[in-house]
Amino acid sequence: MSFVTIALLLCATTAHAADPEPSTPWAARFIRGTSPGDPSGAKLATVATLYGVGIASLAAGVVFTAQGIDTGTDADEFARRQPDDFCADRGSESCTDYLGLRRNESDQLLFGQALLGASALFVLSGALTAELWSNRAELRASAGPSRMTLGFSANF
């Protein structure tokens, strides 16, 4: 769902900007958004970090989910090699080993799914930050006979 939202957000033309610049590739919208001007270093760093964490979370989620599936397969194989009532006594060594495998499977699958969900949130956050953080920032300085003023203005 969130990936569809990202695609719609980046493809839509917003009210404050038409096309960023004719020479800018479409994929640049993922970093710079659709507002005119060049993005600040802080915006680039923030958006790139959010996307990077999202990709890392996606990769870790896939790894943990795959490990959970493998652990579940190992638990199924372990149960097939045991007698039918091997877990009648929960304190037996074979039942303890089996329940440990199932617990590990559950933990790995849960953690993997949580990381996959978090990755979508990080990527969505990166896309929203790229779009909503305006590229316009102004640095103003003025000097007079008795004072000097330095100011920074940015739209968020």
pLDDT in tens, 49-62: 999 999 999 999 99
Q: What pLDDT was estimated at residue 15? A: 44
Number of folded domains that form the chain: 1
Query: How many H-runs (helices) and E-runs (strands) does the chain carry?
Result: 4, 2
Structure tokens of 27?
A: 């994929």
- What pTM does this model have? 0.69
In a domain, 37, yes or no: yes
Nearest to 98 by CA among 125, 58, 71: 71
| CA distances to 14, 31, 50, 132 from 17, in Å | 6, 15, 23, 11
Decide if pLDDT at 91 tops 60: yes
In a domain, 125, yes or no: yes
In a domain, 152, yes or no: no
Q: How far is the C-alpha of 72 from the C-alpha of 108, rounded, in Å?
A: 10
In a domain, 76, yes or no: yes
Decide if pLDDT at 121 tops 90: yes
In a domain, 84, yes or no: yes
Q: What pLDDT was estimated at residue 14? A: 46
Q: What pLDDT was estimated at residue 56? A: 97
Residue 109, φ and ψ in degrees, nearest 5:
-65, -40
**Structural domain range at position 55:** 2-136
Q: What pLDDT was estimated at residue 120? A: 96
From 4-8, 33-37, 110-114, the region with the lowest mean pLDDT:
4-8
In a domain, 27, yes or no: yes
In a domain, 144, yes or no: no
In a domain, 149, yes or no: no
Q: What pLDDT was estimated at residue 20? A: 47
Residue 100, φ and ψ in degrees, nearest 5:
-65, -40
pLDDT, one tens digit per residue, over 13-58 is 444 444 445 566 777 888 888 888 888 888 899 999 999 999 999 9
